[in-house]
Amino acid sequence: MKIVEVKNIVKTFDKTTAVDDVSFEVEQGEIFGLIGPDGAGKTTLFRMLTTLLKPVKGNAKVLGLDVVKNYKQIRKKVGYMPGRFSLYQDLSVEENLKFFATIFGTTVEENYNLIKDIYILLEPFKKRKAGKLSGGMKQKLALCCALIHKPDVLFLDEPTTGVDPVSRNEFWDMLRKLKEQGITILVSTPYMDEASLCDRVALMQKGKTLSIDTPDNIIRQFKKSLFAIHSENQYELFQTLMKYEHRNTVFPFGEFLHYTDKRENISEDEIKNYLETLNLKGLKIKSVKPNIEDCFMALMEEK
Amino acid sequence: MENENIIYAENLTKKFGSFVAVNSISFSVKKGEIYGFLGANGAGKTTAIRMLCGLSTPSSGKATVAGFDVYKQTENIKKNIGYMSQKFSLYEDLTVKENITFYGGIYGLSDKEIKEKTEYLLDILKIGDAKDKLIKSLPLGWKQKLAFSVAVIHNPKIVFLDEPTGGVDPLTRRQFWNMIYEEASRGITVFVTTHYMDEAEYCNRVSIMSDGIIAALDTPSKLKEKYNANTMHEVFVKIAR
């Protein structure tokens, strides 16, 4: 059985089409990522799948159940961590957890093994009010609360947004452990580098999917040769390449610029020779493998 | 004036009760520099920025911003800085033009200057057609770019950007950094926080805060060399962990 099946789903608000004819499937035990900036439709899609919003067109099933007709059954079986902080600010850590366990008709003890690794980190603060926790701690508590009824599938809406790179790494380690315990995970993120941590991803922009595949396959579909170029003055190099007649795209990527050329089969030496005639200092150029962000921008430009 | 320090901080400290949020940090930022202010959540970045913007009085230590003292001259500081964050920027229920007029007004520009600035911004941002549209109806990318332009409308000596690119698509994020470079080349100092480590590489110098102290401060290339890392992401993970 597919854990999630989405077919041609549409959601509009007034004149805005938030989700525009999206289809995908998620298999048992997968980590499936919805990758895209704000306004891509990630949250609206999650709200439809967790039965909080009705689609305008199309349909979706979660655990084989229809999101409109069988919403009550779905709600018992899924865990949902919304993007905005969802906990009760004036309840303590342990009170929040107990509350969520109770409304789902279970106890903290019954499913403690599922949250143990995460909850241990929170235990020293269990008497503290949720509103007084740091961002990273709130995120961990929200995950515990979404897990406490042992859901078959977890929906995590931007759990790492605004979180520093170290805490983001820790959060992804937790997700991998949950996957090992057989929980299917749908997770959304605006951070393109997190795509590589998913089994499969849907790249989303303005309500539409740009591509749905494994991260490796998406990278393989990048059509152009990609070069990383560096010089002593990156801004000058950028301006120079922008004016270059054969330039296709040039984007800053950390200490390098990622460059593609309009010509086929172009070599590093040809570009280097051209730049050397312009007296750019400390030139370095190498052929590189594209990452998901390169692919995302290429797909955006195609549309 | 080339080496003028726009920010100068010495042993700057902020305590809340027994908790030391910012623990004796010292650094300076020069005119026209793009300075990346990084750190883990809860490391003390926001508290430090609030002190530098004249919004929170330090517990001890010294600091000047744009030449003004953070204890005694907070009103002068506020007039000489720009500020933009992902959360607070433009008024959603005002139009593009109204926002420009409003910010121009509170920063003390004359009617003539406001009129000129409005025309200039509508032209350079290519949003002339949207000048009478409410901010809330605009795409996020447009908002971010306008918010930045408005934050520097009064030609401040320094602009503080607190996670300016969060949630923005990758193309807009790069266009935004081009705007930062342009302002810096005009002599405006840029003080920026971000969780995107590729953006840390675009800064002239970067400091990384951890538990209230500045754990590292240098150019991105020297930090990578020192911590034997290939990217700023690796440097950050080594320091903050």
A245, two tokens: 């007649």
Closest by Cα among B65, B75, B51, B62 to B5: B65
Spatial separation of the C-alpha atoms in residues B30 and A47, rounded to whole Å: 47
Give A180: exposed, middle or buried? Use CB within 10 Å, 0-12, 13-18, 19+.
exposed
Spatial separation of the C-alpha atoms in residues A242 and A248, rounded to whole Å: 9
B140, two tokens: 């996020």
The tens digit of pLDDT for each residue in B51-89 reads 999 999 999 999 999 999 999 999 999 999 999 987 667
Spatial separation of the C-alpha atoms in residues A234 and A281, rounded to whole Å: 10
Class of domain A227-287: alpha beta
pLDDT at A137: 86
Q: Which of B39-43, B150-154, B173-177 has the lowest mean pLDDT?
A: B39-43
Fold of A4-220: Rossmann fold (3.40.50)
- Residue A166 has its nearest CB partner, among B40, B185, B232, at B40
- Residue A253 has its nearest CB partner, among B163, B198, B237, at B198
Q: What are the E-state strand segments in A223-283?
A: 227-230, 247-253, 256-261
Residue A264 has pLDDT above 70, yes or no: yes
ipTM here: 0.84
| Residue B150: CA count within 13 A, CB half-sphere | 25
Residue A68 has pLDDT above 50, yes or no: yes
Q: B83 near B53, Cβ under 8 Å?
A: yes
pTM of the predicted model as reported, rounded to 2 decimal places = 0.89
- Residue A167 has its nearest CB partner, among B40, B178, B201, at B40
Model confidence band, residue A202 (pLDDT cutoffs 50, 70, 90): very high
Model confidence band, residue B141 (pLDDT cutoffs 50, 70, 90): confident
pLDDT at A84: 75
Using the beta-carbon criterion (under 8 Å), do A190 and B42 form an inter-chain contact?
no
Spatial separation of the C-alpha atoms in residues A242 and A251, rounded to whole Å: 10
Model confidence band, residue B90 (pLDDT cutoffs 50, 70, 90): very high
pLDDT at B4: 84
- The CATH number assigned to the domain with range B5-89+157-240 reads 3.40.50.300
Residue B132 has pLDDT above 50, yes or no: yes
Domain boundaries, chain A: 4-220, 227-287
DSSP three-state, residue B141 = helix
Model confidence band, residue B2 (pLDDT cutoffs 50, 70, 90): very low
pLDDT at A235: 86
B143, two tokens: 């908002």
pLDDT at B166: 85
pLDDT at B3: 59
Look up residue A106 and give its DSSP letter: -
Closest by Cα among B55, B69, B78 to B151: B78
The tens digit of pLDDT for each residue in A72-92 reads 999 999 999 998 768 999 999
The contact set of B with A (CB < 8 A) is 39-43, 139-140, 163, 166-172, 174, 177-178, 181, 185, 195-198, 201-202, 220-221, 231-233, 236-237, 240-241
Using the beta-carbon criterion (under 8 Å), do B172 and A163 form an inter-chain contact?
no
Model confidence band, residue B1 (pLDDT cutoffs 50, 70, 90): very low
